[in-house]
Structure 1
Amino acid sequence: MTSMPRGGAADVYAAARRRRAVAVVGAVSAGLLVLSACDKPTPRSTVTVGRSSVSEEATCGGEGKTLQTADLTTCLKDTHIQSIKVDPDDTVRLGVDPAIADKRWTILMNGQPLTEDSNKTYRTVPGSVFFNAQYGAQGDSTLVTIKAGDGKKSGSNVTGLWSFKFKKAG
């Protein structure tokens, strides 16, 4: 049997606790440093069709600053966007973060307004609308964009765009 001086075990445990505390403080500090280097993410917009959904940060803007017309045109031509299959018989649900709803938002289809601006966080649209030539649809895919305004009803300033590609299912 080995013997340890009286109280020696307590010193071992105290040293281990100090090392753990230093490690935890180091990990928290490193985490805060990493977070401070990151940009704040822009609000998200989500499209849900049946059991499928896609979510996207702003394609352009989203930080509350008014976008210039040239920026809007470039953003609407962006090809690196989420896509989702839409059956014309389905209901399409479009949801936005409260930060977008506070700015009032509109649904655009191929760059043209499909709905009036709204301050709600959720809208539903029949899937058939997105493939109906009467509403400007062409072919089996449609670019749907959520446009955040400036907070004024029927305001003309745009502060962010969230785009999705709808592909006709079936």
Structure 2
Amino acid sequence: MTTAPATTAFSHARGRRALRTRRGTRAGAGLGVAALAVVALAGCEKPTPLAQITVGDRTASTEAQCYEDGKDISNAELNACVEERAGASITVDAGDRVRIGVDPDIADTGWTLFVDGRPVVPRPSKHTYVTYSGDQFFNVQSPTGEPTQNDKAKVGIVEIDEDGNYKGAWSFDLKRKES
């Protein structure tokens, strides 16, 4: 007949010490992970509000090309941002509905829509969502006043307050789908 070894005070102490060591290692690892997370987050910039365009089941969204966390942006800076490459692009079929959505922070301030540098609406909107016919973006008047068709359009969303101060700019390239 075999008997189990007798438990001694020494074996109990060794078991408790091993348990404390494992707990201490886990606690230390947890503190290390938390410290790394704080360091990583400290190096991150706060993301800008988003704007998006949806056509059918396709969506393009982008952060601002210009945004100073609610501070005013000069005309020169705004023009430079608008001339930059668009933040996103999307294809539009003839007859598609184009849905434009902005972050509530943008809508609270107010925003206006530009197509190829020309304002679409006379005063800023406070809506987070508007819908247009896709054909509106491609039917343009030439300098002589003749209607022309374009295959692409640069759409700009500009956050603007009641005093006419610019706060941010987002841009998209809309491309007419080839038939």
Normalised to the residue count of structure 2, the TM-score between the two structures is 0.85
Q: Secondary structure at the match of 2:11?
A: coil
Match of 2:135 among 128, 138, 150: 128
- Taking only the aligned residue pairs, the percentage that are identical comes to 37
Give the aligned partner of residue 119 of structure 1. 126
> RMSD over aligned Cα, in angstroms?
2.1
| Length, aligned pairs only | 167
Q: In 2, Cα distance between the equivalents of 1:95 and 1:41?
A: 17
Q: Distance in 1 between matches of 2:68 and 2:103?
A: 11
The farther-off stretch of 127-136 and 13-22 is 127-136
Matched, 1:166 2:170: no
Q: Which runs of 5+ in 2 are unaligned?
A: none
Of 146, 152, 161, which aligns to 2:157?
A: 146
Q: Distance in 1 between matches of 2:23 and 2:95?
A: 62
Q: Which amino acid aligns with 1:112?
A: R
Matched, 1:56 2:67: no
Amino acid of the residue matched to residue 133 of structure 2? Answer: P
Match of 1:10 among 9, 13, 16: 16
- Structure number with bigger Rg: 2
Residue number among 69, 74, 82 corresponding to 1:68 in the alignment: 74
Cross-structure match for 1:107: 113
Which ranges of structure 1 fall in alignment gaps of 5 or more residues? Answer: none
Q: Secondary structure at the match of 1:35?
A: helix
2-side partners of 1:40 and 1:148: how far apart?
18
**Which residue is 1:23 aligned to?**
29
Flag the 1:138–1:68 CA change in 2: closer, same or farther, 3 A.
farther
